[in-house]
Amino acid sequence: MRVAIISDIHSNLPALEAVLSDLGREDPDEVWCLGDIVGYGADPDACTALVGDVVERCLAGNHDLVVRGDIDIGYFAMSAGAAARWTVKVINEDTRDFLRPLAPLGEGAGVGLYHASPRDPVWEYVLSVRQAADCLQAQRQRVSLIGHSHVACYFSRPNGQTTVEETVGEIAEAGTLLEMADARWLVNPGSVGQPRDGDPRAAWLMLDTDTWTARFHRVEYPVEAAAKAIMEAGLPRQLADRLFSGQ
């Protein structure tokens, strides 16, 4: 099965539309979302409606859970908290209904799905080999997908190994192809709506569970339009400015 993986949309409608157009040309069998549909951007309702139209599996991210009321907004920093409070005020009932039943972890086609990590599906940012080694040990599945960090990356370790020294990890550039038939894997597709790996283009991943390969994709989108929408909504300027640098 060929599955398009998206994550961390953060209410960025121009980025989501660009990604859905790009992945549509690949004609995946299914689309899965690893959470944080809403968050820093200005179009939570439109993004949620689009995700609801196309995804077969969807997780809740920490921003979704905050907006849903499961997590206190006080856990968020100033700009994230401001965006969450604004989102709570403006979203419609359809968005609330879609977010309500979502969980931060799941499984599909034998692949573990976690918004953040196998150890902590809500909060852990997996950005180091040491963290990844522990997560690879904790995950039940041979292959798992994670989001949350907004960084397109991957970690792997040979089957039967348990040490940090045997674990490798890399930032994934556009076009990177993973051969995943062997070993244990932890893969982050990167962020659709707010990349933080220095590449401002929207990110997504194509996973083939028949051949066990995965390819990272990046898509140009009108960043100016997303930034303008943030400013017009009265959200913190930082949330608009960071879109241009991918940080």
Structure confidence by residue, pLDDT tens digits, 12-57? 999 999 999 999 999 999 999 999 999 999 999 999 999 999 999 9
- Tally the residues of the chain: 247
Please state the rounded mean pLDDT for residues 222-238.
Answer: 98
Rounded CA gap, 17 and 13, in Å? 6
Query: DSSP string covering 221-234, please?
Result: --HHHHHHHHHHTT
Banded pLDDT at 58 (limits 50, 70, 90): very high
Could you report the per-residue pLDDT of 183-203, keeping only the tens digit for each?
Answer: 999 999 999 999 999 999 999
Banded pLDDT at 77 (limits 50, 70, 90): confident
Please state, rounded to an integer, the average pLDDT across all residues of the chain: 96
What residue ranges do the domains of the chain occupy? 2-245
Banded pLDDT at 163 (limits 50, 70, 90): low
pLDDT > 80? residue 161:
no
Helix (H, G, I), strand (E, B) or coil at 203: strand
High-pLDDT (> 70) share of the chain, %: 98
What distances in angstroms separate CA 147 from CA 27, 90, 139, 151, 201, one per listed residue? 22, 25, 15, 8, 16
CA 45 from centroid of its chain's CA atoms: 18
Q: What is the DSSP letter of 181?
A: S
Token look-up 């979502």 returns 102
Phi, psi angles (nearest 5°) of residue 59: -100, 165
Q: Are 239 and 40 in contact (CB under 8 A)?
A: yes
CATH superfamily of 2-245: Metallo-dependent phosphatases (3.60.21.10)
Q: What is the DSSP letter of 186?
A: E
Q: What is the DSSP letter of 189?
A: -
Helix (H, G, I), strand (E, B) or coil at 213: strand
Banded pLDDT at 104 (limits 50, 70, 90): very high
